[in-house]
């Protein structure tokens, strides 16, 4: 994205429309050609999208005294989703009502309800004006090509925003659970459920339900690596476990129905869309002129904040849904989609519902599920082709040829970007390397399914159907309101906590905070796992300073959201990070360190060395033994797109024999060579220093063998030699 | 143990007394010489011993209508503990009231309370007779040297018994939690706490408390491998986390004290030992002659069952506390201790309290904590000696010499068994191998503390003081009854569940059940971890048949405990396993398979190959980087003594160069060589078959490359080559 030439007004939008129009027909035909299999990603994203939206509805219902309920949030998500899926530029992007919108609406309600000439009655009319202004600002941004600037928001801003959202989620979860122990307003305090004993019982029941949901949801996400159950079952639990758990815990909440009065536990409060009171929301447009002029002008303040938010959030979601690693073939459409978002915001405002924008993590989740779908389709085709070939007594070379041919047949004719691709050549050469190419193969020795898994590149079924269908399913939720109202509110608080916790892994800011609290003697464990580049290249103290600064900034942002009315300005703090990053931080940190700590793009530099053989060893083992879904999981779960790309370096020649069982110093020496080979910026000294850092001592610790040949054999065997050798032998193999 | 010559009556007892008398004085002096450090293992074992005993007291209180309470179980544990620690043969053995005793007492109470001429009033007097008979039977067993037969109870019996106990624990936990939702008998149903709303609230509160305790207790046990906090803090949490959690959740239960009536949540019911009603228990001996003669004779039935139980349980606990791997220097004393147990049982019976016997897992936990203590003492001494030597400019050889000397000075003069030992020669040679022995060393390169950790063998501070002190602390608990009564009963149900779950890891029967439920495509994961020999040597079907038989037997045993009165006979089922194992099972299973599935001793055959480099890699890394406590944990946590001893095989010469980066088939070939080298019984065919078993296909699966050279490079790289090579390089290094 971010073409340099798009500063001419309308230029970006024009390019986007031109690019997407060329593949518009294919967007639909490709979707229908996938057949019923398209339902898997559709339902997956539907659940991931609907449950948070219902939860936000519950939150808004409480925070706006019932002015906005789950009906409105669902309608907004469905309406914007349908329109975007049909005429939007990027069909991989999922739209929905998001947490920042909820927070802004809460601020606005708290402001409006205390004004005599506005009050809660004119609140929705006023938000209509806010949305109108927001839409106009978004038009401006789209026309001027502001999306070309989005990469000025570095990882620093994106991850700080991510953690801020997680903190707000967690705050809602805690507040919700605490409220379960109190008597809510707007209720009849004389009914049985509000006697002290039952209020206490409701709170305890709520604790059980919310922690039950949280625990089981977190566990079910990891189902793919369970040891029990068939592959399809584990895959099903991993993909649909969270909605299933919402249903399970809702059922659990009915177990003591005989012994408790109605209303224990408390459930979702929302009118049915067809009940009489629900209609008044939709005619807001009639009241918009009743809003005093001063408030119409004042609406520009929240509007500009929301515009900033949407510009940021919508673009980042689009970016993450269309990362390089997904190997997409159709062009992006940042400018045009921002324009469309402006229209959608105005539309939502005029009918009195909160607007939707591109959501994280649902958008990248959508792309990931479509990659799995494409993978399955390709695999079936290639396996069939290879089997047919083997039955006709072919050589290994011929089998690979038939697979390549079948693959090319499956390719769409619309290739807009990137060079022409094929199956993974390196993998096929590896296969050919172990056997004479003229040998006849049979299925008993040539494991077709495993081979196909290995040569298939990552590709995505790019189409509009799944997005359209999931939006229609969300619309169906509005009709299913009587069922949805059976969900206990405490289950939703658990879901809030789940979303907060799930958003943390992969966030480097979070990982650095964790590293700060890691005992010095345990920091070596970080090196054993997959880890970011900065762990190896940036001194611990620098990393700590940077993280402390970011944490301070985060706490200021969080504090601002607590300020009664001025809290509406919190998106400004995120904007303000751009100049801070560009002009202030370079005075305190070295350029190379800043680059590693805060990559401007969400892509990462090639990884250096891992101290263990996990990264490659794991993947290669997984490819042959485990389910493909698990491999995909490993590649795409990191929410903000930090996909590790471990570049295989051609070292086979220099590795050869002689490194096994040799002197331990040999391993370290080899390791240093690899480090300087892969990344000349990292000198031996840096490597040694960072290793001694993570061994527990400081730079001047007497335990650190800096610059000296390590005498203790354990040092080399455990930290250096073992890892280095094993990694090297892996590198040698994978070339 | 199990000397062949001890069938002469009294011979075993005589030998035991002679052996232990020689080191009796040293048992005490050695304990006092350790100074205040002895308090660490003392308090550790005190908590591990006291909490279950209190929980059993609560269980008995409920099951015997308050005839026996926590006061009685604590007194029994304290009394037997003090006596055993002073005049017992094996001071490492911890005595306490155990779950089987509780079950037997429950059976006896249910029998007695329905008899008109016995009733619950004469119940304790009758148990006095039962204990009398039990004691006499134990005398008989001890005198005839029955302990020499204890190894006829194979792993089959021991592990089945272990799982049975775990099932009974879990059953109690579930029953306890369910009862929290009901109104207990013997109470005033009109008080506020028994109104429906509060009963429900109590149940929900109980759920929160018990699951809270269970979850935090399970987590805290793993604190040593946490990444956060200082080493001492993590060690403290791992060792004392469970009692700390009992205190924490007790405090939590007081948080809503303002909003709930008294009695919510329900707490431990037990009289203070000084309250008037409590005395009537202790004068049971006066009533013993009031028991009708027919019941005195009938008492022989439960007495023989308890005798069988105690013979089995006491001996196995002694065995586990004195495993070969602990390198003990003082002799065991099975026969004499069984005799003493007879006396203690009679004593307990006469004062109306349930008897104590040797407990698992507390006894091996005790030995383990004393090994850690000895380790610390030795380390401090050796580090001081090495540092002094280095300051005087010594060569590496001289430093090792000074360490050896310091080690020998710390050895007690009383070596009763085994050859004279010293520091680990192999480790020192490894250190010397990497450097010229004449080079002067300094502390900056020679990491003294790490080196000392590496050369120290496992040894145990064998003394009586810690056992004596922990028993005295349990006695102190009786005085602290008003404090103990503040623990909510639901916290104890959580503790029951915790004990059940904690007892499972290391139980091969359990691991085999888990393996049965493991998806075929996931069985390879078992091979990656530490695993028992049978996983590699026994075909899956045979393993499944054996496990199903054992599970069926277990369910029959469990069913019998549900039978109202005949349930008292359940120990017979355990006894009956001896002939079943010897005469029935060999007709259905091959001898070699049986030997691997059911090792007669708790020792294991040397491990074959692990498919990953974890076992050795982990340990060596841990030794240099991690805390010594964690290493100890890894070695001793398996509760029934299944310590893996991975014998290092001298393969350095045959490994040499050429295996890294070579053809994948090379790895497999090398691996086969190791397999046949280490254990000739395992042919190549077995290895290949078991590998293909675990790859997901059956023996006849087309995916299994049995007998053929593997064509797919992934197969070798993932399953064979990678693991084989890495393992080999490890073997090479560790020689």
Find out whether A89 and A503 touch, Cβ atoms under 8 Å.
Answer: no
Q: What is the pLDDT of residue B435?
A: 61
SS3 for B655? helix
Of B441, B655, B705, the CB nearest to A660: B655
Which residues are registered as beta bridge partners of B488?
A: B267
Lowest pLDDT segment from A432-441, B108-117, B247-256, B591-600: A432-441
ipTM of predicted assembly, 2 dp: 0.72
**Helices (H), ranges, B524-613:** 524-528, 534-537, 540-562, 570-579, 591-597
Alpha-carbon gap, residue B58 to B47, rounded angstroms: 17
Structure tokens at B338: 């069984």
- Whether A260 contacts chain B with CB within 8 A: yes
Task: Calculate ∠ Cα A277-A278-A280, nearest 5°.
Answer: 80
Region A144-148: mean pLDDT is: 85
Cβ–Cβ below 8 Å for A713 and B431: yes
* B88-128: pLDDT as tens digits: 999 999 999 998 899 899 999 999 998 888 888 899 999 99
Taking the CB of residue A277, how many other CB atoms lie within 10 A of it? Answer: 9
Task: Calculate ∠ Cα A573-A578-A581, nearest 5°.
Answer: 110
Contacts of B696 in chain A (CB under 8 A): 625
Region A598-621: mean pLDDT is: 38
* A490-539: pLDDT as tens digits: 998 998 899 888 878 778 888 888 888 887 777 766 766 666 777 777 88
Cβ–Cβ below 8 Å for A514 and B621: no
Taking the CB of residue B648, how many other CB atoms lie within 10 A of it? Answer: 16
Cβ–Cβ below 8 Å for B260 and A703: no
Please, which residues have CB within 8 angstroms of residue B588's CB and are 6 or more apart in sequence? B545, B549
Q: What is the pLDDT of residue B47?
A: 83
- Whether A530 contacts chain B with CB within 8 A: no
Helices (H) then strands (E): counts for chain B: 32, 2
Residue A443 to chain B, least CA–CA distance (Å): 7
Alpha-carbon gap, residue A330 to A19, rounded angstroms: 8
Alpha-carbon gap, residue A35 to A463, rounded angstroms: 12
DSSP codes of every residue in B368-390: HHHHHHHHHHHHHHHHHHHHHHH
Please, which residues have CB within 8 angstroms of residue B84's CB and are 6 or more apart in sequence? B91, B93, B95, B337, B340, B344, B467, B471
Residue B630 to chain A, least CA–CA distance (Å): 12
Taking the CB of residue B173, how many other CB atoms lie within 10 A of it? Answer: 24
Alpha-carbon gap, residue A470 to A479, rounded angstroms: 15
* B49-97: pLDDT as tens digits: 898 899 899 889 888 888 898 889 999 999 999 999 999 999 999 999 9
Which residues are registered as beta bridge partners of B364?
A: none
Please, which residues have CB within 8 angstroms of residue A435's CB and are 6 or more apart in sequence? A396, B711
- Whether A728 contacts chain B with CB within 8 A: yes
The β-bridge relationship of strands B357-358 and B95-96 is antiparallel
Of B204, B712, B718, the CB nearest to A451: B712
* DSSP 8-class letter at B457: P
- Whether A637 contacts chain B with CB within 8 A: no
Judge whether residue A703 has pLDDT over 50. Answer: no
Cβ–Cβ below 8 Å for A525 and B200: no
Of B259, B702, B728, the CB nearest to A443: B702
Alpha-carbon gap, residue B510 to B503, rounded angstroms: 10
- Whether B712 contacts chain A with CB within 8 A: yes
Structure tokens at A336: 């045009």
Helix (H) or strand (E) holding B32: helix B24-33
Across chain A, what does the average pLDDT equal?
A: 75
Judge whether residue B645 has pLDDT over 90. Answer: no
Lowest pLDDT segment from A597-606, B552-561, B658-667: B658-667
* B323-346: pLDDT as tens digits: 777 888 888 899 999 999 999 999
pLDDT above 70: percentage of residues in chain A: 74
What backbone phi and psi angles, to 5 degrees, belong to A599? Answer: -55, 130
Judge whether residue A619 has pLDDT over 60. Answer: no
Helix axes A465-479, A70-87, angle to 10 degrees: 160
Task: Calculate ∠ Cα B636-B641-B647, nearest 5°.
Answer: 75
Alpha-carbon gap, residue A44 to A49, rounded angstroms: 9
**In b/e form, how buried is each residue of A135-168, taking b as 16+ CB within 10 angstroms?**
bbbbbebbbbbbbbebeebbbbbbbbbbbbbbbb
Between A438 and B269, residue with greater pLDDT = B269
Nearest C-alpha in A relative to B517: A228
Alpha-carbon gap, residue B713 to A454, rounded angstroms: 11
Alpha-carbon gap, residue A268 to A270, rounded angstroms: 6
Lowest pLDDT segment from A165-179, B250-264, B698-712: B698-712
**Distances in whole angstroms, Cα of residue B484 to Cα of each of A389, A537, B281, B292, B477:** 76, 54, 20, 38, 8
SS3 for B10? coil
Q: What is the pLDDT of residue B160?
A: 87
pLDDT classification of A431: cutoffs 50, 70, 90? low
Find out whether B623 and B453 touch, Cβ atoms under 8 Å.
Answer: yes
Alpha-carbon gap, residue A242 to B46, rounded angstroms: 43
Chain pair A-B, CB pairs under 8 angstroms: 246
pLDDT classification of A412: cutoffs 50, 70, 90? low
Alpha-carbon gap, residue A321 to A315, rounded angstroms: 10
* DSSP 8-class letter at B192: G
- Whether A629 contacts chain B with CB within 8 A: no
* DSSP 8-class letter at B228: B
Residue A34 to chain B, least CA–CA distance (Å): 28
Find out whether B407 and B374 touch, Cβ atoms under 8 Å.
Answer: no
Cβ–Cβ below 8 Å for B228 and A518: yes
Find out whether A557 and A576 touch, Cβ atoms under 8 Å.
Answer: no
Centroid of chain to Cα A408: 31
Alpha-carbon gap, residue B94 to B50, rounded angstroms: 11
Structural Rg of chain B based on CA atoms? 28
**Distances in whole angstroms, Cα of residue B67 to Cα of each of A358, B63, B79, B465:** 68, 9, 19, 33
Structure tokens at B424: 């680990």
Lowest pLDDT segment from A21-35, A87-101, A316-330, B303-317: A316-330
Alpha-carbon gap, residue A659 to A657, rounded angstroms: 6
Q: What is the pLDDT of residue B101?
A: 93
Please, which residues have CB within 8 angstroms of residue A622's CB and are 6 or more apart in sequence? A630, A631, A634
Greatest Cα pair distance, chain B, in angstroms, is 88
- Whether B687 contacts chain A with CB within 8 A: no
**Helices (H), ranges, B563-610:** 570-579, 591-597
**In b/e form, how buried is each residue of B9-36, taking b as 16+ CB within 10 angstroms?**
eebbbebbbebbeebeebbbebbeebee
**Helices (H), ranges, B442-523:** 448-455, 465-479, 481-484, 489-502, 508-517
Q: What is the dihedral of CA B165, B166, B172, B178, to 10 degrees?
A: -160
Region A131-139: mean pLDDT is: 96
Nearest Cα to Cα of residue A484 among A34, A47, A128, A24: A47
Nearest C-alpha in B relative to A523: B227
Any idea which residue has 């304990």 for tokens?
B31
* B492-548: pLDDT as tens digits: 899 889 988 887 877 888 888 888 888 777 776 676 666 677 777 788 888 899 999
pTM of the model: 0.74
Structure tokens at A227: 């040891």
Helix (H) or strand (E) holding A420: none
**Distances in whole angstroms, Cα of residue B390 to Cα of each of B393, B438, B447:** 5, 13, 11
Q: What is the pLDDT of residue B713?
A: 35
SS3 for B445? coil
């Amino acid at each position: 994205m971010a073409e340099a030439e798009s500063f001419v007004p309308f230029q970006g939008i024009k390019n986007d429309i031109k690019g997407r129009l060329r593949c518009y027909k294919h967007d639909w035909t490709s979707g229908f050609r996938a057949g019923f299999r398209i339902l898997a990603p559709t339902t997956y994203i539907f659940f991931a999208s609907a449950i948070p939206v219902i939860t936000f509805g519950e939150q808004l219902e409480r925070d706006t005294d019932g002015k906005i309920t789950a009906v409105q949030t669902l309608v907004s998500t469905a309406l914007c989703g349908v329109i975007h899926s049909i005429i939007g530029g990027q069909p991989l992007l999922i739209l929905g009502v998001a947490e920042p919108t909820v927070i802004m609406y809460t601020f606005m309600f708290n402001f409006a309800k205390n004004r005599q000439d506005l009050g809660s009655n004119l609140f929705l009319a006023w938000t209509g004006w806010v949305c109108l202004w927001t839409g106009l600002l978004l038009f401006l941004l789209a026309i001027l090509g502001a999306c070309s600037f989005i990469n000025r928001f570095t990882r620093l801003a994106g991850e700080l925003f991510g953690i801020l959202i997680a903190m707000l989620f967690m705050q809602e979860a805690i507040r919700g659970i605490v409220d379960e122990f109190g008597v809510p307003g707007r209720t009849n305090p004389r009914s049985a459920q509000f006697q002290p004993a039952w209020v206490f019982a409701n709170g305890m029941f709520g604790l059980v339900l919310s922690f039950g949901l949280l625990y089981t949801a977190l566990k079910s996400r990891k189902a793919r690596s369970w040891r029990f159950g068939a592959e399809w079952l584990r895959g099903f639990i991993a993909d649909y476990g969270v909605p299933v758990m919402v249903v399970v815990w809702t059922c659990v909440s009915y177990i003591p129905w005989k012994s408790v009065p109605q209303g224990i536990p408390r459930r979702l409060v929302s009118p049915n869309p067809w009940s009489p009171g629900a209609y008044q929301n939709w005619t807001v447009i009639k009241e918009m002129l009743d809003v005093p002029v001063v408030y119409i002008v004042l609406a520009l303040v929240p509007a500009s904040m929301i515009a900033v938010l949407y510009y940021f959030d919508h673009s980042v979601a689009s970016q993450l849904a269309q990362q390089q690693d997904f190997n997409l073939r159709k062009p992006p459409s940042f400018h045009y989609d921002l324009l469309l978002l402006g229209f959608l915001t105005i539309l939502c405002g005029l009918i009195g519902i909160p607007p939707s924008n591109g959501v994280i993590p649902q958008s990248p989740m959508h792309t990931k599920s479509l990659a799995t779908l494409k993978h399955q389709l390709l695999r079936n085709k290639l396996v069939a082709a290879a089997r047919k070939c083997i039955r006709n007594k072919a050589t290994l070379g011929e089998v690979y040829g038939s697979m390549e041919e079948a693959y090319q047949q499956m390719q769409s004719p619309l290739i807009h970007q990137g060079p022409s691709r094929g199956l993974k050549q390196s993998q096929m050469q590896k296969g050919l390397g172990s056997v004479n190419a003229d040998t006849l193969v049979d299925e008993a020795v040539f494991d077709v399914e495993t081979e196909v898994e290995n040569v298939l590149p990552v590709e995505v079924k790019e189409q509009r159907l799944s997005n359209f269908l999931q939006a229609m399913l969300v619309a169906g939720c509005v009709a299913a309101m009587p069922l949805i109202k059976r969900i206990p509110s405490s289950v939703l608080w658990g879901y809030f906590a789940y979303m907060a916790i799930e958003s943390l892994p992969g966030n480097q800011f979070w990982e650095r905070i964790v590293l700060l609290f890691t005992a010095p003697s345990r920091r070596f464990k970080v090196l054993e796992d997959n880890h970011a580049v900065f762990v190896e290249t940036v001194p611990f103290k620098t990393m700590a300073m940077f993280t402390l600064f970011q944490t301070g900034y985060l706490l200021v942002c969080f504090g601002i959201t607590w300020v009664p009315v001025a809290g509406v300005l919190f998106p400004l703090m995120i904007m303000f990070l751009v100049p801070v990053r560009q002009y202030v931080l370079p005075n305190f940190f070295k350029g190379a360190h800043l680059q590693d700590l805060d990559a401007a793009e969400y892509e990462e530099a090639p990884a250096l060395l891992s101290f263990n053989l996990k990264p490659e060893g794991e993947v290669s083992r997984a490819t042959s033994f485990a389910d493909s879904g698990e491999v995909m999981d490993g590649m795409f779960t990191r929410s903000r797109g930090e996909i590790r790309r471990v570049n295989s370096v051609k070292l086979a020649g220099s590795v050869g024999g002689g490194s096994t069982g040799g002197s331990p110093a040999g391993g370290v020496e080899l390791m240093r060579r690899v480090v300087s080979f892969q990344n000349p910026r990292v000198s031996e000294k840096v490597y040694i220093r960072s290793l001694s850092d993570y061994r527990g001592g400081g730079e001047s610790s007497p335990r650190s063998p800096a610059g000296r040949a390590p005498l203790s054999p354990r040092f080399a065997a455990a930290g250096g030699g073992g890892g280095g050798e094993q990694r090297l032998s892996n590198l040698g193999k994978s070339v």
